[in-house]
Amino acid sequence: MREYLLRHRSLDIVIKLIGVAIVLPLLAATPIFGAFQPFNGWLTGFANAAIFVMLAIGLNIVVGKAGLLDLGFAAFFAIGAYTYAFGASAYSGNDIPFWLMLPIGAIVTAIFGVAIGAPTLRLRGDYLAIVTLGFGEIIPNVLLNSDKYTLGTNGISGLNRPELPIIGVFKSNEPWPWFILAVVLIGVIMIAADRISFSRIGRAWEAIREDELAAASNGINTVTFKLLAFAIGASTAGIAGAFLASKLSFVSPDQFKFSVSVTVLSMLVLGGIGNLWGAAIGAFLLYFVQSILLKQLNEGFKGVPVLGEIDFLQLQYLLFGLALVIMMLRRPGGLFPERRAARHRVGTAKE
Amino acid sequence: MTKKQPVLELKGVGRTFGGLVAVNSVDLEVAAGSITSIIGPNGAGKTTLFNVISGIYAPTKGNITLSGALLATPDHKTEREAFLWGAFAIAGIVIGAIAGLAIDAPAGLAGVGAIVSSGAILLAAVSRPAWYVRVCARLGIQRSARPNDVVFLGIARTFQNIRLFKEMSALENVMVGTHARTDVGLFDALLDTRRFRRTEKESESQALTLLQAVGLEDQANVAAKNLAYGDQRRLEVARALASTPKLLLLDEPAAGMNPAETAQMIELIKSIRDKFGVTVLLIEHDMRVVMGISEKIAVLDHGEKIAEGTPAEIRSNPRVIEAYLGRGAASGA
Amino acid sequence: MGSSVAWAKRNSVFLWVAAVAIAFFIAVPPVQFVNALTLGAIYALIALGYTMVYGIVELINFAHGDVFMLGTFVSLSILIDVIGVTGPITNPIQLILMLVLILAVTMALMGAVGFLIEKLAYRPLRNAPKLAPLITAIGVSFILQNVVQLWKGPYKTTFPQFFPMDAALMLGNVRIGLINILVIVVALILMVALQLFITRSKTGRAMRATALDPTAAALMGVNIDATISRTFVIGAAIAGAGSVMFGLYLGITDFSIGFLAGLKAFTAAVVGGIGNTLGAALGAFTIGFTEVGATVAGFSRWKDAIVFILLVAFLTFRPNGILGSDSSDRA
């Protein structure tokens, strides 16, 4: 069985995701979970967490596979979301259906991925990081300042929602369609990411990550492959952006600050850089730490002398910072380090 | 009978770094199927020469041909590239403006056209696909082949201080070596097409064959960093062979090896030349290796070729002795 | 034709400085020229830390901008809570004493912060793969920002301006604020002192040796750990001086200034030539002029984007900066 699943990885992913899709709502229906928030709150929370899962998987390709430290990933997220706003909203006058906007958003964001990746091609790690950091700052800045087109800080609201034949238009108070859609999108992204990783492309990325000169000296066009990593990572953020935009029916530059980039990076670091499921689990866990645990700590410590004064929600970025430092010092591989053993062994290639 | 065309020809190749002349006007012909060694004292410029041949540096003078085709040459008239980009940008503006007239937004579409065409040409400039190189050649712009182009054209190399992909297994390392010879696109991988599976299988079996050829088939799944030193060197050779090169550059393949391993390496080099028909060019300090397998030896000192000939000729060449041991040794003992 | 190009390349520094200064003199009111110099001076004090650290360990200390930000809060706390400064000090002797005091204390404290950061967060990772110290630096940056946010709140905080802001010199009919002169003079003094330190002192030699070749330096008896540590300390201390100057000049600060100031100071270091202290100063003044120039030309909303474009342009076309060599690496 295990052998079979190792050889049919896509099936393995589908099975695991279906399992997750069944278990999570069941858990949310239990009294323990009910104590924190109502069932619908949990379902919506799962869908929101899914956005970060998508972002983490995308960033995992850029940082984890190709070894390019992108500190401005939120920029791609913003582009994906605003592309949706320009494609499917009353404000823009366009009415492209959500299902078509998904690939369009992915492609547009991928193009920006190439555009942003291009200046970084000859740069070493540190410089690449800071240039991507800069882009991560500048793009939301541009979106903010171009208020003639983007309505600046007010953001664009009234974005269209997805629509399906029997179910109709998705609504914000009905979390089930969003939940299922989220799981499906994650499935598609995970399968795609996994298949690319276990191919000549994935090997080329790893070679570049390990030793760029040796990679080039073995025939790898490092330029094209680095740009490809940016493009694919960005396209994932594009999909996540479209999902976010349609779910909230609203976009504004504030949603894409540097803290978002760092949050996604923290999720990746926590979960395990280079590991697909690690990234997903890290994102999921950290999201709920952020949205549930910290609130609970606030509630729990009310009235307690020193601890009661602290606003744990405000603290969250401090905790992220500490987590990043501690993880790097103690366990740089993350909770689920990239498992070298599960790599391409003799006989892995299918007939 | 006409002389067979040499696989590699260096004509007056030189490479300067700022003020330092690392290689100064080296001429060399490497016959097809031969084993040639380059020797010389430390700092003679041997590895720099390899780096020029394998595309890491462009030569600052002279040129290199591979089977008659130009491989490496000083960058020539590269400022003309800027004109090419400008031309593309202008073309984009014009086409955009014309198209824009049709929908009554000439300025906007002209802007879009400018951005799209500039982006496209700059992308081409940076990733250098074949058509772009041809267009540049038409304009008289010459750039030396880059490392990955060089592999495609048929030269593979190993490195003096072993540059394996440490976290990847031996098998995966060699599979990376097949990169230049496989052509599997993004969509093949995404859709798990039959073509994708076929090329993956081929890469895997070719890698296994090569691992067998160097005696590492038992360690195929071992991470490269965990291999013994001698095994790592042999793995690097296997990886280089994976791109089915015409010419194999080995940079100190026997460095750091004990006599037994060295003997094995000598046998290995001979057997891969016989089995795969590659031409071998190697840098070596270990005279057992050099004298043992070379058909021709070229001696470099201070960036220049000071001697060339068979092992017997080189052994007794006074200039060579002087370069290695100093003036007194050549005349005296 | 060829030889004048070569001459231009050799003297590129002076040409650059001259070109920017002349452009400014022509295009911009003198008061803006002084502003640009002042802004450049502050950026220089931050940029020096980036360039020194990069030169010696090839690490971009992402947290450095936040050390600068921390310095503004630390110095304002000392001024308000410990010393009890309320308004401008008019007695010149008292003023100078206060300046010296607050500069010395802030620089010492920030130096200590620099020491701790290096020791706790960077030194253990010196041999780790390159991603690790970068991520840790981000973590430290976040920690600093949020510690300050918890301590002083997320709102803008006023810095006690004990230096009389209305005192000025009149050069002809151009008004040059004494505060501007103070900032520029302090920056120049520190830059000169740093340059002398690096070229003349034993630690300075050790720093230069380690930057060029750590192994050889270690073999020559240089204590690498101590040298790297001192580099961080000095860089942070000078940034601390920048914090005080920033506070006095602009009068206001908040927890988020470190990010953008750091990014621009780093751009300055790159533009001038990373690893080169004179380059950091040169680059910083260039950035100062660029920002003020953008504002004067009516693009003040875009000035950050413009500085960033400058960074990308230099990293793409001339990664070694103005004072760096024209090296190329093809792989």
B315, burial (CB in 10 Å: exposed 0-12, middle 13-18, buried 19+) = middle
What's the number of domains chain C is made of? Answer: 1
Q: Between these two residues, C11 and B119, which has the higher pLDDT value?
A: B119
How many whole angstroms separate alpha carbon A111 and alpha carbon A234?
Answer: 8
- In which band, very low, low, confident or very high, does the pLDDT at B288 lie, cut at 50, 70 and 90? confident
Taking contacts as CB-CB distances below 8 angstroms, the residues of chain B near A344 are: 169, 171-172, 175, 204
Give the burial string for C308-328 (b: 16+ CB within 10 Å, else e): bbbbbebbeeebbbbbbeeee
Q: Give the residue numbers in B contacting C (CB under 8 Å), as ranges.
A: 18, 55-58, 144, 146-147
Taking contacts as CB-CB distances below 8 angstroms, the residues of chain A near C149 are: 314
What A309-314 contacts at long range (C-beta under 8 Å, 24+ apart), as own/partner pairs, is A310/C150, A314/C146, A314/C149, A314/C150
Is A200–B189 a contact, with Cβ atoms under 8 angstroms apart? yes
Percent of chain A with pLDDT over 70: 88
Q: Between these two residues, B64 and C131, which has the higher pLDDT value?
A: B64
- In which band, very low, low, confident or very high, does the pLDDT at B291 lie, cut at 50, 70 and 90? confident
- % helix / strand / coil in chain B, to the nearest 5? 50, 20, 30
The DSSP symbol for A262 reads H
Predicted local confidence at residue C328, as pLDDT: 45
Predicted local confidence at residue B49, as pLDDT: 92
Q: B18: how many CB neighbours lie within 10 A of its CB?
A: 8
pLDDT at C117 exceeding the cut of 70? yes
The structural domains of chain A, with segments of one domain joined by +, span: 2-330
pLDDT at C116 exceeding the cut of 90? yes
Work out whether strand B279-283 and strand B69-72 pair parallel, antiparallel, or are unpaired: unpaired
Range B46-51 average pLDDT? 91
Taking contacts as CB-CB distances below 8 angstroms, the residues of chain A near B146 are: 216
Closest-CA residue in chain A for C131? A69
Chains within contact range of chain B (3+ C-beta pairs < 8 Å): A, C
Mutate to test the interface with A, among B168, B173, B244 (most CBs of A within 10 A): B168
Q: What fold characterizes domain A2-330?
A: ABC transporter involved in vitamin B12 uptake, BtuC (1.10.3470)
Range C27-51 average pLDDT? 88
Is C331–B58 a contact, with Cβ atoms under 8 angstroms apart? no
Predicted local confidence at residue B330, as pLDDT: 47
Chains within contact range of chain A (3+ C-beta pairs < 8 Å): B, C
Nearest residue, CB atoms, C150 vs list A119, A125, A314? A314
- In which band, very low, low, confident or very high, does the pLDDT at A171 lie, cut at 50, 70 and 90? confident
Residue A321 contacts C, CB cutoff 8 Å? yes
- In which band, very low, low, confident or very high, does the pLDDT at A339 lie, cut at 50, 70 and 90? low
Closest CA of chain C from A10, distance in Å:
30
B130-150, pLDDT tens digit by residue?
788 788 878 877 778 889 889
Taking contacts as CB-CB distances below 8 angstroms, the residues of chain C near A142 are: 305
Work out whether strand B296-301 and strand B35-39 pair parallel, antiparallel, or are unpaired: parallel
Choose the most confident range, by mean pLDDT, from B193-202, C14-23, C111-120. Answer: C111-120
- In which band, very low, low, confident or very high, does the pLDDT at B18 lie, cut at 50, 70 and 90? confident
Token pair for residue C6? 């070569």
Q: What stretches of B154-309 show up as alpha helix (H) in DSSP?
A: 170-177, 186-191, 194-213, 229-241, 259-276, 287-293
Range B312-331 average pLDDT? 74
Range C315-325 average pLDDT? 76
Cβ atoms of A272 and A336 within 8 Å: the answer is yes
- In which band, very low, low, confident or very high, does the pLDDT at A350 lie, cut at 50, 70 and 90? low
Closest-CA residue in chain B for C326? B18
Q: Which domain does C54 fall in, by range?
A: 30-255
Nearest residue, CB atoms, A325 vs list C139, C270, C319? C139
Residue A11 contacts B, CB cutoff 8 Å? no
Q: A171: how many CB neighbours lie within 10 A of its CB?
A: 11
Q: C274: how many CB neighbours lie within 10 A of its CB?
A: 29
What A39-48 contacts at long range (C-beta under 8 Å, 24+ apart), as own/partner pairs, is A40/A173, A40/A175, A43/A175, A43/A176, A43/A178, A43/A179, A44/A175, A44/A178, A44/A179, A45/A287, A45/A288, A45/A291, A45/A292, A46/A179, A46/A182, A47/A175, A47/A178, A47/A179, A47/A181, A47/A182, A47/A247, A48/A247, A48/A287, A48/A291
Predicted local confidence at residue A190, as pLDDT: 93
For the CA atoms of A255, A37, A13, A268, the dihedral, rounded to the nearest 10 degrees, stands at 40
Give the residue from C307, C268, C319 showing the smallest Cα distance to C48: C268
Q: How far is C-alpha A327 from the chain's CA centre?
A: 20
Taking contacts as CB-CB distances below 8 angstroms, the residues of chain A near C121 are: 325, 329
A195-252, pLDDT tens digit by residue?
898 889 999 999 999 999 999 999 999 999 999 999 999 999 999 999 999 998 888 8
Predicted local confidence at residue B240, as pLDDT: 95
Closest CA of chain A from B85, distance in Å:
16
Positive or negative, the CA dihedral A14, A15, A18, A24 is negative
Nearest residue, CB atoms, B56 vs list C325, C327, C331? C331
Q: What stretches of chain C show up as alpha helix (H) in DSSP?
A: 2-10, 12-27, 30-57, 64-77, 92-117, 131-152, 178-200, 202-212, 214-219, 224-250, 257-272, 277-296, 303-317
Is C331–B147 a contact, with Cβ atoms under 8 angstroms apart? yes
- In which band, very low, low, confident or very high, does the pLDDT at A27 lie, cut at 50, 70 and 90? confident
Range C217-236 average pLDDT? 90
- In degrees, to the nearest 5, what angle opens at C-alpha B326 toward C-alphas B325 and B329? 70
Nearest residue, CB atoms, C149 vs list A122, A141, A314? A314
Cβ atoms of A140 and A256 within 8 Å: the answer is yes
In a 3-state reduction of DSSP, which class is residue B35? strand
Tell me the one-letter amino acid at C122.
Y
Residue A313 contacts C, CB cutoff 8 Å? no
- In which band, very low, low, confident or very high, does the pLDDT at B127 lie, cut at 50, 70 and 90? confident
Closest CA of chain A from C256, distance in Å:
11
How many whole angstroms separate alpha carbon A341 and alpha carbon B251?
Answer: 31
Is A321–C305 a contact, with Cβ atoms under 8 angstroms apart? no
A124-167, pLDDT tens digit by residue?
778 888 889 888 888 888 888 887 777 878 888 888 788 887 77
Question: Chains B, C: CB contacts under 8 A, how many?
Answer: 12
- In which band, very low, low, confident or very high, does the pLDDT at C329 lie, cut at 50, 70 and 90? very low
Give the residue from B238, B182, B158 showing the smallest Cα distance to A213: B158
Taking contacts as CB-CB distances below 8 angstroms, the residues of chain C near A127 are: 60, 270, 315, 319
- In degrees, to the nearest 5, what angle opens at C-alpha C207 toward C-alphas C202 and C208? 100
Lowest mean pLDDT among A277-281, A347-351, B187-191: A347-351
- In which band, very low, low, confident or very high, does the pLDDT at C11 lie, cut at 50, 70 and 90? low
How many whole angstroms separate alpha carbon A49 and alpha carbon A93?
Answer: 30
B171-214, pLDDT tens digit by residue?
999 999 999 888 877 887 788 788 888 888 899 999 999 999 99
CA distance to A86, A152, B108, per residue, from A144 (Å) = 15, 4, 21
Token pair for residue B9? 């020809």
Taking contacts as CB-CB distances below 8 angstroms, the residues of chain C near A137 are: 259-260, 263, 304, 308
Contacting C residues, span 13-72, partner chain A, CB-CB under 8 Å: 54, 58-60, 62
Contacting C residues, span 245-274, partner chain A, CB-CB under 8 Å: 259-260, 263, 266, 270
Predicted local confidence at residue A322, as pLDDT: 86
Closest CA of chain B from C190, distance in Å:
34
Predicted local confidence at residue A213, as pLDDT: 93
Residue B292 CB-half CA count within 13 A: 17
Closest CA of chain B from C156, distance in Å:
40
- In which band, very low, low, confident or very high, does the pLDDT at A113 lie, cut at 50, 70 and 90? very high
Q: What stretches of chain B show up as alpha helix (H) in DSSP?
A: 46-53, 80-102, 106-127, 130-138, 147-153, 170-177, 186-191, 194-213, 229-241, 259-276, 287-293, 311-315, 318-325, 327-331
Closest CA of chain B from C89, distance in Å:
56
Give the residue from A51, A21, A40 showing the smallest Cα distance to A243: A51
In a 3-state reduction of DSSP, which class is residue B64? strand
Asked if residue C2 is part of any domain, the answer here is no
Nearest residue, CB atoms, C130 vs list A125, A138, A265? A125
For the CA atoms of A223, A228, A230, A232, the dihedral, rounded to the nearest 10 degrees, stands at 180
Is B54–A115 a contact, with Cβ atoms under 8 angstroms apart? no
Predicted local confidence at residue A165, as pLDDT: 79
Asked if residue C275 is part of any domain, the answer here is no
Q: C31: how many CB neighbours lie within 10 A of its CB?
A: 13
- In which band, very low, low, confident or very high, does the pLDDT at A304 lie, cut at 50, 70 and 90? low
Cβ atoms of B82 and B121 within 8 Å: the answer is no
Asked if residue C306 is part of any domain, the answer here is no
Nearest residue, CB atoms, B165 vs list A10, A210, A351? A210
pLDDT at B279 exceeding the cut of 90? yes
Tell me the one-letter amino acid at C101.
L
Work out whether strand B279-283 and strand B247-251 pair parallel, antiparallel, or are unpaired: parallel
Is A332–C138 a contact, with Cβ atoms under 8 angstroms apart? no
Nearest residue, CB atoms, B167 vs list A210, A215, A227? A210
Work out whether strand C157-158 and strand C174-177 pair parallel, antiparallel, or are unpaired: unpaired
Taking contacts as CB-CB distances below 8 angstroms, the residues of chain C near B56 are: 330-331
C272-299, pLDDT tens digit by residue?
888 888 889 889 998 998 888 888 877 8
- In which band, very low, low, confident or very high, does the pLDDT at A340 lie, cut at 50, 70 and 90? low
Contacting C residues, span 108-147, partner chain A, CB-CB under 8 Å: 121, 124-125, 128-136, 138-147
Is A328–C59 a contact, with Cβ atoms under 8 angstroms apart? no
Choose the most confident range, by mean pLDDT, from A285-294, B233-242, C87-96, C164-173. Answer: B233-242
B76-104, pLDDT tens digit by residue?
777 777 778 888 888 888 887 777 777 77
Closest-CA residue in chain C for A69? C131
How many whole angstroms separate alpha carbon B67 and alpha carbon A262?
Answer: 52
How many whole angstroms separate alpha carbon B233 and alpha carbon B239?
Answer: 10
Q: A286: how many CB neighbours lie within 10 A of its CB?
A: 26
